[in-house]
């Protein structure tokens, strides 16, 4: 018999045994039962987070060893070239730097301004000879990065690699279940490396939380996973309520019900999300994308927001991870596409040169359902399929690369263009992602920020431009905030850009006004969308 059958049977037997026992005792037992279950779940989550961090840091150590064994020790072009290769092949590494004997940074391959880096932890020895870990703050960024360095390089030079803390923390709040947890990674000296979780502001003090802490033997870091005690009791409120006011036999009934089938507590985040889909609470914001050579708005990216019934606007980071881990993202994306067609379909359809982009999740590439969805939704709207752009983020690994290629091919056969979002920041390594045969790539803000300095001629962005050009992929730069960045992008022949320098994501009515002002359509010259006109 499977362990879960065992557990269900045990729950029924216990439930029956509880019949007739005083309610207060039942309540006590249920509370500790729930707490034990959750503690076990937290333990699993902590192991998962430690495992992820060790994998990432382990890959970074290997990269460091590899560079040192190849004799990389200076800021010469050949060494910078080898450092760039590492960025392309070893995913978690986002920058390689050469350090002087005093530990100060001499140069980096990426060009993040040197003055902006500050070491905020003690140096912490790792299980790897010579390799020390530190936590760094870069400029005014709130998120921290981990630096692994080895000072035993050629000619007294040290070598270091940076790994963003963001890559250590899973995007899902737990392993898909409805209990939301907070995950936090610290260096053993207590410096915060990174933190993720839906309820940073849940108000629960530390002693109101159920907490599990694990320590990595290899890297001198600890992982703390916690969830507010109040929430877990509330999420099992049916059980607790029955335990408090009901009789033992009612508790037996509830336990027996709980033992069968998936049981989702009312008021859980997943139930909230399901309700939001039903009530059509997701709204679209539109961020313009500008052609730098003509200064015209040529396209827009749709960015989702959740407008709750009380009017609060919830940003995507607070619900997209849960939508992804539960699979609800597929339904959420459909609803968003329909909404966009209804809201701006006519305006976009009458401007056949204008495109509109949507974000897809890794899950969309597990089967071909998205192909039929896209064909159906846009087939019934004035927006032509040739106007649709779909972005797949590099931040989540694609489970089945062959299937992903098939889905991308089928979407392209419809006339849709597919691109990679957040290129260079994710899990897969550039070369791997570029095998997908996409039409465009979006360069992450991280790299756009790095081009503010013209310190080194071989920057990642130039390598990307060259790659894009060789593979006939269009390049869009993201997160462009300053005039200087715009000028640099133009100088490197990057044509398209998106960012606060041009416009933030706009609500539908503002976006429509912008479209009309920038590119008025006069009744007489109303064009048909490309695919219809053919």
Binding site for ligand C2E (CB under 6 A): 287, 303-304, 315-317, 320, 329, 333, 336, 359, 361, 393, 421-422, 479-481, 498-500, 505
325 interacts with, out of ligand C2E, Ca ion, none, CB within 5 to 8 A per kind: none
Distances (CA, A) of 302 to 290, 315, 445: 14, 13, 17
Query: Cβ atoms within 10 A of the Cβ of 279, count?
Result: 10
Q: Interface with Ca ion includes 343 (CB under 5 A)? A: no
Q: Confirm if 431 and 424 have CB atoms less than 8 A apart.
A: no
The least CB distance from residue 503 to Ca ion, in Å, is 15
The least CB distance from residue 501 to Ca ion, in Å, is 16
Q: Pick between residue 35 and residue 481 the one whose CB is nearest to ligand C2E.
A: 481
Question: Applying CB under 5 A, which part among 179-187, 269-277, 385-393, 453-461 lies near Ca ion?
Answer: 385-393
Question: Applying CB under 5 A, which part among 97-105, 317-325, 332-340, 359-367 lies near Ca ion?
Answer: 359-367
Question: Within 13 A of 252's CA, how many CA atoms are on the CB side?
Answer: 14
491 interacts with, out of ligand C2E, Ca ion, none, CB within 5 to 8 A per kind: none
- Residue 2 exposed, middle or buried by CB count within 10 Å (0-12, 13-18, 19+): exposed
Q: Pick between residue 83 and residue 408 the one whose CB is nearest to ligand C2E.
A: 408
SS3 category, 391: strand
Q: Pick between residue 390 and residue 465 the one whose CB is nearest to Ca ion.
A: 390
Q: Pick between residue 77 and residue 279 the one whose CB is nearest to ligand C2E.
A: 279
Q: Confirm if 107 and 122 have CB atoms less than 8 A apart.
A: no
The least CB distance from residue 477 to Ca ion, in Å, is 10
Assigned token pair, 9? 């049977």
Question: Applying CB under 5 A, which part among 57-65, 75-83, 245-253, 416-424 lies near Ca ion?
Answer: 416-424
41 interacts with, out of Ca ion, ligand C2E, none, CB within 5 to 8 A per kind: none
The least CB distance from residue 420 to ligand C2E, in Å, is 11
The least CB distance from residue 399 to ligand C2E, in Å, is 16
The residue nearest ligand C2E at its CB is: 499
**What is the footprint of Ca ion within residues 461-480 (CB under 5 A)?**
478
DSSP state of 142: S
The least CB distance from residue 531 to ligand C2E, in Å, is 24
The least CB distance from residue 124 to ligand C2E, in Å, is 31
Q: Confirm if 285 and 300 have CB atoms less than 8 A apart.
A: no
131 interacts with, out of Ca ion, ligand C2E, none, CB within 5 to 8 A per kind: none
Q: Confirm if 227 and 181 have CB atoms less than 8 A apart.
A: yes
SS3 category, 106: strand
- 368 CA to centre of own chain: 22
Dist CA 282 CA 328 (whole Å) = 13
**DSSP secondary structure string, 278-320?**
HTT-EEEEEEEEEETTTTEEEEEEEEEEEE-TTSPEEPGGGTH
Q: Interface with Ca ion includes 459 (CB under 5 A)? A: no
Count of residues engaged in binding Ca ion, rule: CB under 5 A = 5
Out of 326, 350, 359, 428, point to the residue binding Ca ion (CB under 5 A): 359
225 interacts with, out of ligand C2E, Ca ion, none, CB within 5 to 8 A per kind: none
Residue 225: phi and psi, rounded to 5, are -115, 135
Q: Pick between residue 134 and residue 391 the one whose CB is nearest to Ca ion.
A: 391
Distances (CA, A) of 199 to 12, 184, 185, 291: 34, 12, 16, 39
Query: Cβ atoms within 10 A of the Cβ of 24, count?
Result: 10
Assigned token pair, 465? 């431009």
Q: Pick between residue 246 and residue 468 the one whose CB is nearest to Ca ion.
A: 468
- Greatest Cα pair distance in the chain: 81
The least CB distance from residue 27 to ligand C2E, in Å, is 41
499 interacts with, out of Ca ion, ligand C2E, none, CB within 5 to 8 A per kind: ligand C2E
Out of 422, 428, 441, 498, point to the residue binding Ca ion (CB under 5 A): 422
SS3 category, 29: helix
287 interacts with, out of Ca ion, ligand C2E, none, CB within 5 to 8 A per kind: ligand C2E
Dist CA 161 CA 133 (whole Å) = 10
Question: Applying CB under 5 A, which part among 122-130, 237-245, 353-361, 366-374 lies near Ca ion?
Answer: 353-361
**What is the footprint of Ca ion within residues 117-176 (CB under 5 A)?**
none
User: What's the chain's length in residues?
Assistant: 534
150 interacts with, out of Ca ion, ligand C2E, none, CB within 5 to 8 A per kind: none
Q: Interface with Ca ion includes 391 (CB under 5 A)? A: yes
Q: Are strands 296-307 and 355-360 parallel, antiparallel or unpaired?
A: parallel
DSSP H or E segment with residue 184: strand 182-187
Dist CA 499 CA 476 (whole Å) = 11
Out of 421, 446, 475, 497, point to the residue binding Ca ion (CB under 5 A): 421
**Contact residues: Ca ion, CB under 5 A:** 359, 391, 421-422, 478
């Amino acid at each position: 018999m499977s362990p879960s059958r065992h557990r269900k049977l045990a729950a029924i037997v216990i439930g029956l045994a509880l019949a007739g026992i005083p309610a207060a005792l039942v309540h006590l037992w249920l509370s500790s039962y729930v707490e034990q279950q959750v503690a076990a779940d937290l333990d699993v989550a902590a192991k998962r987070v430690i495992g992820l961090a060790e994998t990432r840091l382990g890959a970074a150590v290997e990269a460091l060893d590899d560079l040192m064994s190849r004799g990389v020790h200076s800021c010469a072009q050949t060494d910078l070239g080898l450092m760039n290769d590492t960025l392309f092949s070893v995913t978690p590494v986002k920058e390689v730097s050469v350090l002087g004997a005093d530990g100060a940074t001499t140069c980096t391959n990426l060009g993040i301004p040197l003055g902006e880096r500050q070491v905020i932890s003690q140096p912490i020895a790792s299980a790897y000879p010579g390799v020390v870990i530190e936590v760094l703050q870069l400029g005014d960024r709130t998120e921290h990065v981990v630096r692994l360095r080895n000072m035993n390089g050629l000619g007294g030079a040290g070598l270091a690699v940076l790994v963003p803390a963001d890559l250590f923390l899973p995007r899902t709040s737990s392993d898909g279940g409805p209990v939301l947890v907070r995950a936090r990674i610290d260096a053993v000296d207590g410096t915060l490396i990174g933190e993720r979780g839906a309820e940073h502001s849940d108000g629960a003090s530390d002693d109101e939380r159920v907490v599990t802490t694990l320590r990595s033997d290899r890297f001198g870091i600890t992982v703390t996973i916690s969830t507010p005690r109040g929430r877990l009791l509330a999420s099992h409120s049916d059980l607790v309520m029955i335990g408090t006011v009901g009789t033992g036999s009612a508790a037996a009934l509830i336990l027996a019900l709980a033992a069968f089938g998936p049981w989702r507590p009312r008021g859980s985040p997943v139930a909230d999300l399901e309700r939001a889909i039903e009530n059509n609470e997701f709204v679209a914001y539109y961020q313009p994308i500008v052609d730098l050579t003509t200064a015209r708005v040529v396209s827009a990216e749709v960015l989702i927001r959740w407008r709750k019934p009380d009017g609060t606007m919830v940003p995507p980071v607070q619900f997209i991870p849960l939508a992804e881990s539960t699979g609800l993202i597929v339904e959420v994306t459909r609803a968003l596409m329909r909404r966009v067609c209804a809201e701006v379909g006519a305006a976009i359809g009458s401007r056949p040169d204008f495109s509109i982009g949507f974000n897809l999740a890794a899950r969309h590439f597990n089967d071909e359902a998205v192909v039929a969805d896209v064909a159906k939704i846009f087939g019934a709207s004035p927006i032509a399929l040739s106007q649709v752009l779909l972005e797949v983020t590099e931040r989540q690994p694609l489970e089945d690369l062959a299937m992903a290629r098939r889905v991308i091919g089928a979407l392209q056969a419809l006339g849709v263009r597919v691109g990679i979002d957040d290129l260079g920041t994710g899990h897969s390594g550039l070369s791997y992602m570029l095998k997908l045969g996409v039409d465009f790539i979006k360069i992450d803000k991280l790299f756009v920020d790095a081009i503010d300095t013209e310190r080194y001629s071989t920057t990642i962005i130039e390598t990307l431009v060259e790659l894009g050009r060789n593979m006939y992929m269009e390049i869009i730069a993201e997160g462009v905030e300053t005039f200087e960045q715009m000028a640099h992008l133009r100088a490197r022949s990057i044509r398209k850009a998106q960012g606060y320098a041009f416009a933030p994501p706009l609500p539908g009515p503002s976006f429509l006004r912008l479209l009309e002002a920038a590119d008025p359509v006069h009744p007489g010259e109303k064009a048909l969308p490309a695919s219809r006109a053919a």
